[in-house]
Structure 1
Amino acid sequence: MPDRSTSPSAAPAPEGAADRLRRFAPLALIALGAALGAWAFGDRLSFEALEANRAALLDWRDAGPVRAAAIYMAVYVAMVAFSIPGAIWLTLAGGFLFGTWVAAGLIVVAATVGAALIFLAARSGFGDLLRKRAEGWLARLERGVRDNEVSFMLTLRLVPAVPFFIANLAPAFLGVRFRTYLWTTLVGIAPATAIYASVGAGLGEVFARGERPDLGVIFSPPVLLPLLGLAALAAAPALYKAVRGR
């Protein structure tokens, strides 16, 4: 008599407590880190804090530029991985400390690493479970995203109206491949990052005039329209496939 435990038609063993713990431990760690980060830095990441500590920050950078850049990147990775509010001020601080292009490079790499960490945590937790149980419109949405994941990811990253933490989590629930997620994040966040880093690079003059930086610059037509144009180019292959399919 064949062993039923090895039969192909045998039902899979139910998920045990240890499996559930391994599945949800990364998400629990991220939630805990987010709560602690918001409590520790909630009122310390602001324009006022940056203005009050600008001299100390410049002295800290000058004491060891390479070390300062490494610490800055590590802090940025944690900010993104734990979805701690205030990353915009950290981006401006990077431009202020390291200049537009160096800061943009540091931020793009750090933000991509942080986004990759939260993506893997979400996919190992709810992502796999959600996809296994996906039915109806959710299953169709997942198939559509998977067939056009490059266009989906680049559009998601290029449109500045999409909150960053949503753009980090949604692909994990919709079956986007990690490799695609990684390189499209790296490329897609670069334009907006460079814009805000350039705003940070000009903070010295802003401080001297006693003003505040214009954070809405990304929504001004000279900046927004090129970003939307890039997003439209990214979405074009998916739209073409949809029209051709119909």
Structure 2
Amino acid sequence: MSDTSQPNSSGLMRKLPLIIIVAVAAIGAFTLKDYLNFQTLADNREALLSFRDSNYLLTAIVFMAAYAAIVGFSLPGAAVMTLTGGFLFATFPGALFNVTGATIGAIAIFLAARWGLGERLAAKMDTSDGLIKKIKEGIDENQWSMLFLIRLVPAVPFFVANLVPALVGVPLGRYAMSTFIGIIPGAVVYTSVGAGLGEVFDRGETPNLGIIFEPAILLPILGLCALAALPIVLKAVRGKKGL
């Protein structure tokens, strides 16, 4: 009796962090969406700036911890937090604080997903046949390029970019480095928007989150995407020549 219950208990414990994340994300989606928004930031901006001026280091630490929690639990408000980083700390070091907090949160959800599902799923993909195995092999052969691509392409949801690598067996160090570097361009753009939030609020307006899709910003990011995809293209061309 104990022999059969122990594996089940162990499997549940492995999935527990992921279950907690999903539960908190579901609750947060309904309870926090009315609080983690630009209006809340506008209403409390004087208090936030005053606290920052009196406790700069503590504010930075608390901010990064809050950002990590929002990303780690897939809570609403990541865009607001990124702009808040610029509002409180300017483009720099605000972008650094944003990238650090987001990376820590991404690592947390990556580890929870890999511990609960990723290792077993990756093993099954390795032993499978057909299309699934080919997809896994394709990702394995181009991990750096694929990891940078899913971070750089604005259309890829952040939580998807956090989960997919965990489910295909990407090493933690490679995931962390590609996340930190890959989100820098977008983070800098939105942090710079946040640095001008004071003037936006004074005019009674809301920030333009679609700025990243403007040609002057989108084209350089797409150029980085093309650069990240270049090794994949070259490998495919060489493979065809080998045939």
Q: Same fold (TM over 0.5)?
A: yes
| 1:143 alignment partner in structure 2 | 137
State yes or no: 1:153 paired with 2:158.
no
When structure 1 is superposed on structure 2, of 25-34 and 67-76 the one drifting more is 25-34
Pick from 195, 203, 227: which aligns with 2:197? 203
What CA distance in whole angstroms lies between the structure 2 residues aligned with 1:132 and 1:37?
A: 33
Q: Do the aligned partners of 1:142 and 1:175 also contact (CA within 8 Å) in 2?
A: no
Deviations 1:18-50 (A, max 9, x none): 221222111112112223433442210111111
Q: Normalized against structure 2, the TM-score is what? A: 0.92
State yes or no: 1:131 paired with 2:125.
no
Q: Do the aligned partners of 1:141 and 1:174 also contact (CA within 8 Å) in 2?
A: no
State yes or no: 1:108 paired with 2:102.
no
| 2:80 alignment partner in structure 1 | 89
| 2:16 alignment partner in structure 1 | 25
| 3-state SS, counterpart of residue 44 of structure 1 | coil
Deviations 1:69-93 (A, max 9, x none): 1100100010010010111001111
What CA distance in whole angstroms lies between the structure 2 residues aligned with 1:53 and 1:14?
A: 52
Pick from 227, 235, 242: which aligns with 1:241? 235
Q: What's the offset of the Cα at 1:53?
A: 1.3
| 2:184 alignment partner in structure 1 | 190
| 3-state SS, counterpart of residue 62 of structure 2 | helix
Root-mean-square deviation (Å): 1.6
Query: Larger Cα Rg: Structure 1 or Structure 2?
Result: 1
Pick from 191, 216, 219: which aligns with 1:222? 216
What CA distance in whole angstroms lies between the structure 2 residues aligned with 1:20 and 1:89?
A: 36
Q: What's the offset of the Cα at 1:14?
A: 10
Deviations 1:196-222 (A, max 9, x none): 000000011111222221110000000
AA matched with 2:47? A
State yes or no: 1:60 paired with 2:54.
no
What CA distance in whole angstroms lies between the structure 2 residues aligned with 1:43 and 1:188?
A: 30
What CA distance in whole angstroms lies between the structure 2 residues aligned with 1:20 and 1:175?
A: 18
What CA distance in whole angstroms lies between the structure 2 residues aligned with 1:52 and 1:166?
A: 32
Pick from 41, 48, 54: which aligns with 2:32? 41
Deviations 1:126-165 (A, max 9, x none): 2122222223222111111111100000111111111100
Q: Do the aligned partners of 1:195 and 1:218 also contact (CA within 8 Å) in 2?
A: yes
Pick from 80, 85, 96: which aligns with 2:71? 80
What CA distance in whole angstroms lies between the structure 2 residues aligned with 1:175 and 1:231?
A: 23
User: Taking every aligned residue pair, what percent have the same amino acid on both sides?
Assistant: 49
Q: Are the structure 2 counterparts of residues 16 and 111 from structure 1 closer, same or farther at C-alpha, using a change threshold of 3 Å? A: same
AA matched with 1:37? G
Pick from 173, 181, 186: which aligns with 1:179? 173
What CA distance in whole angstroms lies between the structure 2 residues aligned with 1:33 and 1:115?
A: 15
| 3-state SS, counterpart of residue 43 of structure 1 | coil
| 3-state SS, counterpart of residue 175 of structure 1 | coil
AA matched with 2:117? F
Structure 2 portions without partners, runs of 5+: none
What CA distance in whole angstroms lies between the structure 2 residues aligned with 1:222 and 1:230?
A: 14
